[in-house]
């Protein structure tokens, strides 16, 4: 898959993040675009800045909720994936992946820098967020 060109504002935001965290966040960015390309119901993902952080939205299909990438104040050496705090996503992830991630309240999944990227768990979290209004990934998890 060829990743889309990154908007200049988003590239500038990534450049502000320490190299070790940035590499992990860019891996997560790649997973977002790979997943959205594979899932026909998600449609194209819009990449923009929200609250000064790279954000990913399903603006055309409205299938999902916004995903932001950055660092948490509570764990600045770790990569964080932020989700809309008005959803139940982080609480669901806390139940499913307590051994994979750290969590910040009801807003973020934190991936400790000393661990390998738990790619399957991250993919599943991204799936839930990008299809939040469709419930597709929740159905898959319940069936498995």
pLDDT tens digit sequence for 31-80: 999 999 988 888 899 999 999 999 999 989 999 999 999 999 899 999 99
Q: Is the dihedral of CA 97, 67, 83, 103 positive or negative?
A: positive
| Domain that includes residue 90, residue range | 8-143
Say how far apart CA 68 and CA 99 lie, in whole Å. Answer: 22
Please indicate, yes or no, if residue 2 is contained in any of the structural domains.
no
In this prediction the pTM is 0.92
Check which CATH number belongs to the domain holding 66 and give it: 3.90.1150.200
Buried b (16+ CB within 10 A) or exposed e, 24-63: bbbebbebbbebbeebeebbebebeeeeebbbbbbeebeb
Q: Is residue 127 part of a domain?
A: yes
Q: Are 102 and 15 in contact (CB under 8 A)?
A: no
């Amino acid at each position: 898959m060829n990743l889309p060109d990154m908007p200049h504002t988003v590239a500038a935001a990534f450049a502000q993040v320490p190299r070790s965290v940035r590499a992990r966040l860019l891996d997560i960015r790649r997973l977002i675009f790979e997943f959205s390309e594979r899932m026909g119901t998600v449609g194209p993902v819009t990449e923009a800045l929200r609250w000064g952080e790279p954000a990913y939205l399903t603006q055309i299909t409205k299938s999902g909720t916004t995903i932001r990438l950055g660092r948490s104040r509570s764990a600045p050496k770790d990569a964080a994936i932020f989700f809309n705090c008005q959803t139940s996503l982080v609480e669901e992830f806390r139940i499913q992946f307590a051994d994979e991630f750290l969590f910040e309240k009801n807003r973020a999944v934190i991936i400790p820098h000393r661990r390998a990227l738990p790619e399957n768990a991250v993919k599943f979290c991204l799936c839930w967020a990008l299809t939040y209004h469709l419930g597709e990934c929740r159905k898959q998890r319940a069936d498995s």
